[in-house]
Chains A and B, each alone.
Chain A
């Protein structure tokens, strides 16, 4: 048995196509084989019931309508998804009160009349197959079947209870809008629309996932976003042969360029003004139904250090904060490694007095430096995870108490030196400055620590170069992920956030079409600047 397994693995490795993969792909089309809607109402209803076998929330109501109540029809909807008020008011009441004029009416004309004039609902669709009818019911619409007519009407009556727009916990902000996305797709697209009132903001709907049929909306500014990226996103999403999409995280993994990299190459955010900002820079937003996290593609490494407040506060302060975040990111990855290499390999770099203080602290501690730091970082990760998983009130208490006790007890018991606790605390705190890259930072930190415990500062230097090169090799939808230090024009928004009135061009590597963001005008420093300013031709003209 073992040999056979090895042979199969070898054959797989040698010829590369995993043949077994294709046999198992069964066709999961069970419920679509039900076929078309027939003329007889009862037949249709019983096939519908056969489809939704023992699902208690499917409501079917038969009624008679027409002048002399000669026609019979039925209404089918899922209780909870469809709002009962729309079903009764907008659908049942008009049909029943409808008085047909004289003359014989064929079933087909009745359906047309109903859909055009009688029904008060906003969106009515004529459907001929059972699968569409079932799909409509499942997404909250009401299906109207008429005896003798082979078409059914699917009326939009979505009305489940939604969460109201609230402030997102993950991205708290001092200045700037506080509204965050909700789980409902329509509210999210509406929030973005309110930010960018421009007909060129395209919203294309896609449905993905055989079992879950999740709605995904691609939003991009036509003329600003790069067509190639839009095509690529559309191509990758529409070709997803997957079972289920429950959160935008699924989409992120399926369509990103480097599936195995610890770095996320697709940005996700919960705030509409962030998405609006990124759309204006030429990116494509992917709004997934059922999750408040909207993906923005393509993402650059620099976006880790850009927060919304940078653009709302003073440019000077914002630039200093951005540099602080960059140093924090460097510290959170390299601080433990540098500490190890300084105390275990190159003691001569430390000034003499500092060396003696560290030597005093380390006197008698049992573990070598590398193991000591590894233990402390490991316990810090446990504490952080505990802090997140527990309910909010308890979480805060746990992390503080844990840190205090752990640090204090370990030092006094002589297990760990005080400088080690300080370094790990510094690393932990600085990792909170770049929340998006938290998980990748903790992975890379361990790798570089191992390197530094083997080769000291040389290992750290090689680790830094490897990280730099690896980042350089990543692309996000064809666009260089880490353009860092390259001689590009959009340095205006990287390490330093230049004042808004100087940022005339959109980022060169993302936007393609209309590049000018705002006409270059002298800042209103001169007293008379306001009068003579005729901002007639703005960045783009609204037809």
Chain B
């Protein structure tokens, strides 16, 4: 019983994955506070650490091509436990989308609109992304090629504009930090930007691709997204050097330093707007997944009437999550990675092993 009949091609999925990762370029701010100049190494490590789980994600999709995450859970863990895990994942997706939404509102409030209340901005964002979510997966992922190209062009343009302030020795004191902070940095990177790709377990039934193509498109999307993320961190460290941990959003300060002749300066607003559009894409995708999970769990046929309600819940729930940015920064660095690991790595691996033991896909074919 597939709720959204929309079918998208595997190339569109590739772009959607790439865009999904690129849009979390804002979150590198949490990382640089811990691993200052070496954050670019940590991003690399995080990517490598996540690769096996990416492979696992691909195999799960190959094993259950027609069922999304909730149905897989029902089948592997049985109806009762499956339902409970489904509810847990529902909470996870809802929290994920509302955290990102509040992130967007706070980022805009922090950079462009200082006195506008954050819920006003998230309300507008929800209204606009509701247009896409109501229409289904086809529209949500329809413009992902555009966003990927815009992200890459912005990244290269901004690096080019700031190149004259790029000092190689800003990277220099390498490996001077304690080992614990490297482990913590890798853990953050592996779970927050990359781990969230578990969301695609809900979307893969809507994608027309053969078994071999699944891993190919997932991997290429992961590569493009990860590469852009990595080069953003490189650029920020190269320009800011030792002051990188001083600022809340380092890439924004890099854009502030763009000085091309007397007239073109202070262009960080334009770059901020582009970052907002990218984050908008990620929020729309998470919003769509949250709505899909609810309607899948409660077996509702047409989900587009629930869209606005879930949106309003996201706004209000998001406001209760983090009373202050300091608490948010602290929790993201310490507790959130652990919680996310449970959902993004432990449960999928468990499902994979159980499915292999009970040889489940075979039962379906028989």
Q: Is A–B contact present in the complex under a CB 8 A cutoff?
A: yes
Interface residue from B266, B273, B280 paired with A457 (Cβ < 8 Å): B273
A472 to B112, CA, bound (A): 28
Q: Known pairs A351-B264, A455-B116. 15 more at Cβ < 8 A?
A: A346-B112, A349-B270, A456-B113, A458-B112, A458-B113, A462-B125, A469-B128, A469-B129, A469-B131, A472-B139, A472-B142, A484-B143, A485-B146, A486-B142, A487-B15
Does A7 sit within 8 A of B, measured CB to CB?
Answer: no
Specify which chain A residues have a CB less than 8 angstroms from the CB of B120 in the assembled complex: 455
Chain A interface, >50% SS class:
helix
B261: nearest chain-A partner, CB-CB: A351
A451 to B116, CA, bound (A): 13
B272: nearest chain-A partner, CB-CB: A457
B105: nearest chain-A partner, CB-CB: A458
Does A466 sit within 8 A of B, measured CB to CB?
Answer: yes
6 residue pairs, one from A and one from B, having the closest CB atoms? A485-B146, A351-B263, A466-B128, A469-B131, A473-B135, A469-B132
Contact with B along A460-499 (1 / 0, CB 8 A): 0110111011101100000000001111000000000000
A455 to B134, CA, bound (A): 24
A460: nearest chain-B partner, CB-CB: B273
Known: A458-B273, A461-B276, A487-B12. A468 touches B143 (CB 8 A): yes
A348 to B265, CA, bound (A): 9
A84 to B108, CA, bound (A): 77
Specify which chain B residues have a CB less than 8 angstroms from the CB of A451 in the assembled complex: 124
Is A349 a contact of B266 with CB atoms below 8 Å? yes
Is A351 a contact of B113 with CB atoms below 8 Å? no
Contact with B along A176-197 (1 / 0, CB 8 A): 0000000000000000000000
Which residues of chain A from 286 to 332 have a CB within 8 Å of any chain B CB?
none
Does B7 sit within 8 A of A, measured CB to CB?
Answer: no
Specify which chain B residues have a CB less than 8 angstroms from the CB of A351 in the assembled complex: 262-265
A464 to B147, CA, bound (A): 13
Is B113 a contact of A461 with CB atoms below 8 Å? no
Which residues of chain B from 256 to 299 have a CB within 8 Å of any chain A CB?
262-267, 269-270, 273, 276-277, 280
19 contacts between A and B (CB under 8 A): A351-B262, A351-B265, A354-B263, A455-B124, A457-B269, A458-B116, A458-B124, A458-B273, A466-B128, A469-B128, A469-B129, A469-B132, A469-B139, A469-B143, A472-B132, A473-B139, A485-B145, A485-B146, A486-B142
A104 to B266, CA, bound (A): 104
Does B11 sit within 8 A of A, measured CB to CB?
Answer: yes
Which residues of chain B from 3 to 20 have a CB within 8 Å of any chain A CB?
11-12, 15
- Total residues of chain B contacting the partner, CB 8 A: 35
Contact with A along B93-133 (1 / 0, CB 8 A): 00000000000000010001100100011001101110110
A345 to B127, CA, bound (A): 22
A488: nearest chain-B partner, CB-CB: B145
Is A462 a contact of B128 with CB atoms below 8 Å? yes
A487: nearest chain-B partner, CB-CB: B145
Which residues of chain A from 331 to 378 have a CB within 8 Å of any chain B CB?
345-346, 348-349, 351, 354
Which residues of chain A from 477 to 525 have a CB within 8 Å of any chain B CB?
484-487
A346 to B280, CA, bound (A): 21
Does A459 sit within 8 A of B, measured CB to CB?
Answer: yes
Specify which chain B residues have a CB less than 8 angstroms from the CB of A345 in the assembled complex: 112-113
Interface residue from B108, B121, B128, B265 paired with A465 (Cβ < 8 Å): B128
B302 to chain A, nearest CB (A): 15
Specify which chain A residues have a CB less than 8 angstroms from the CB of B265 in the assembled complex: 351
